[in-house]
Amino acid sequence: MARVALEQIGKMYGAVPAVIDLDLEIEDEEFVVLVGPSGCGKSTTLRLVAGLEDVSSGTIRIGERVVNRLPPKDRDIAMVFQNYALYQHMTVYDNLAFGLRNRRTGEAVIGQEIARAAEILGIGNLLKRKPRELSGGQQQRVALGRCIVRHPQVFLFDEPLSNLDAELRAHMRIELKRLRERIAVTSMYVTHDQVEAMTLGDRVAVMRDGRIQQVGTPLEIYNRPKNRFVAGFIGAPAMNFLEVRLEDAGGELYAVAPGFRIRVPSERAGLRNFSGDRALLLGVRPEHTLLGEPKPEHGTGFDALVEVTEQLGAELLLGVRAAGRTLIASRIDPETELAPHAPVRMSLDPRGLHFFDGATGEALR
């Protein structure tokens, strides 16, 4: 087992940077998820750690070793690919044995390891089959088995669930969690799916344009996004954003937009420095966008018009027009009757107010 440390790593494809000065430390047995939109450099980062690509600058350490110049086979890692990448011409057993045989492991030990992995993953009955005779979920299990048998220092996952249908993906997500309880290995997991990121990661690193935007536990990322991008990327339905100014009136701070004015709670007094004409973004998650007159502790309300409603059974999603924007509110009582274009009173949960610099998108605290 080992720590993985990426220090100032960069990767250029010709003149195009794919990864820029990336720092990331993964503790022993920690599970870190790299998440971001496509083309953000997350897969490239994983391939750099795997050794499938060479870094242009910086240092990669696995354990105490600098592995920059080591070929993939000497890095003591295992990787699961999006399309499983099973050896099509071999049986499942030979697929699992391939890595061990390359390391001159005895057949008896190989047999034991495969039996153990097959038991953990429930693929004991598939060992004699060829990959093309397996379903997507079964192939993914075999791919996981290929990692488990080798007892590597690091597991790398490259979007392992994206080729599965929604139901199977949810199922495999739970299986992956279970697997982690049985086999704790330092892991790097790449996905574009924020649900996977939130549910699987001990920590999550959100990437964009080759840079890490924020690293933290799923809750930190969710509750204290560092910038507008992270705030908008994590969470579904996505965070609402309103262009506002801060107004300092009689010792109270107000967030103001045309037709919209709410009081900022006093514990956010630090924001006073940003009051005046400075353009800010107010971010508020749908679950903090509340229907009805505000409770006393929720400050001031504002007027809005119903645009759409989406009935989900357990909750109602509500889209309202306020301050020239559409705001989405979630967790509305599904029994609520709301006609389109009806005027409603709304309020915002003061604990859920995020302010971002209008120009840089940085969170203001």
Token pair 């006073």 in the structure block, residue: 272
Direct distance between the N- and C-terminal alpha carbons of the chain, in angstroms, rounded to an integer: 38
Query: Under rule CB under 8 A, how many of the chain's residues touch another protein?
Result: 24
Question: Can you point out the beta strands (E) in 84-196?
Answer: 154-158, 186-191
- Based on the shown chain and the rule CB under 8 A, indicate whether residue 151 belongs to the binding site for another protein: no
Shortest Å distance, C-beta 274 to another protein: 48
Kindly state the tokens that stand for 306: 């119903």
Instruction: Tell whether residue 73 is a contact of another protein (CB under 8 A).
Output: yes
Binding another protein by CB under 8 A: which of 11, 42, 141, 146?
A: 146
Our finding on whether 16 is near another protein (CB under 8 A) is no
Nearest distance in Å: CB 79, another protein: 5
Helix (H) or strand (E) holding 322: strand 316-322
- Binding part of the chain for another protein, among 49-57, 186-194, 220-228, 235-243 by CB under 8 A, reads 49-57
Nearest CB to another protein, comparing residues 85 and 170: 85
Contact pick of 10, 17, 72, 137 for another protein (by CB under 8 A): 72
Cα–Cα distance, 306 to 292 (Å, whole number): 12
Cα distances from 173 to residues 156, 168, 188, 218, in angstroms, run: 15, 8, 15, 16
Question: What is d(CA 296, CA 266) in angstroms, rounded to the nearest whole number?
Answer: 14
Q: Which of 2, 35, 40, 79 binds another protein (CB under 8 A)?
A: 79
The total number of residues shown for the chain amounts to 365
Which of 48, 77, 144, 316 touches another protein by CB under 8 A? 77
Contact status, residue 262 vs residue 303, Cβ threshold 8 Å? no
Quick one: which segment of 65-73, 211-219, 271-279, 280-288 binds another protein (CB under 8 A)? Answer: 65-73
Q: Which of 16, 103, 132, 251 binds another protein (CB under 8 A)?
A: 103
Helix (H) or strand (E) holding 50: helix 42-50
Residues making contact with another protein (CB under 8 A): 50-52, 71-73, 75, 77-79, 81-83, 85-89, 98-99, 102-103, 146, 150
